[in-house]
Amino acid sequence: MHCIFIHGLFHQPWVLKLLAQRCETLLQPKTSQLFGYDTRHYSADVLEDLHKCVISVPENDEIIFIAHSMGGLVVRHYLALFPRLHVKVITLGTPHTGSFVARFLEQYRVSRWLLKDALVSGLASGDIPEYQKQYPLLSISGIQCYGWASFLGKKIHDGTVLEEETLLPHAEHVSLRRLSHNAMLYDKRVVRAIQDWLTR
């Protein structure tokens, strides 16, 4: 098993370091990589760079993508472009159907400038390659009572992403209460949920 961790919007690889260390302790992967990219300048080049990480793993070895938020959309674009055997995907707070908050922000010029090319990933539009059932996927969502989504009148969310946006047909789903969008990178319950799913 090899783990590749992918961060979300406006983040850097270092935010995944604690999550990666905990997963390494529990899962004992052969290798663990933190993949970084400029979320505001998302393009096909990001997928090419990710491919360089992936092809460093022997073809018959299993890869586990563990991706936060927009990172999960990056993985879906990647697998649509570069199919591969022996892959599992775990997403944390990923808006698989597009983000209501991003659609709201997209209305404003300053926000469009801030998000820039992140919108190309389907973050707002939901224009994302169809989920391929051959890749087992676990979607983990948080439930929190405050944040952007509350301000916009939504109820069940992690502060940024609505729970309903994290759901995919044929994928498994775990919802964790009292867990915000960014806090899921540091919560031990997330690592336990990952371990439980992978060791079934």
pLDDT tens string 100-112: 889 888 888 888 8
pLDDT at 145 over 80: no
Residue 17: band (very low, low, confident or very high) from pLDDT cuts 50, 70, 90: very high
Alpha helix positions (H), 67-136: 70-81, 100-105, 109-115
Q: Which domain holds residue 146?
A: 2-198
Q: Can you tell me the mean pLDDT for 2-21?
A: 97
Neighbours of 57 (CB within 10 A): 19
Look at the chain and report how many structural domains it folds into: 1
- Determine the pLDDT at residue 180: 94
Q: CB of 139 within 8 A of CB of 172?
A: yes
- Model confidence, pTM: 0.95
- Determine the pLDDT at residue 39: 94
Mean pLDDT of the chain: 93
Burial (CB < 10 A; 0-12, 13-18, 19+), residue 139, is buried
Residues 134, 122: Cα–Cα separation, whole Å: 22
Residue 154: band (very low, low, confident or very high) from pLDDT cuts 50, 70, 90: confident
Q: CB of 97 within 8 A of CB of 126?
A: yes
Neighbours of 176 (CB within 10 A): 19
> Hey, what are 34's tokens?
């933190």
Q: Could you tell me the CATH number of the domain that includes residue 11?
A: 3.40.50.1820
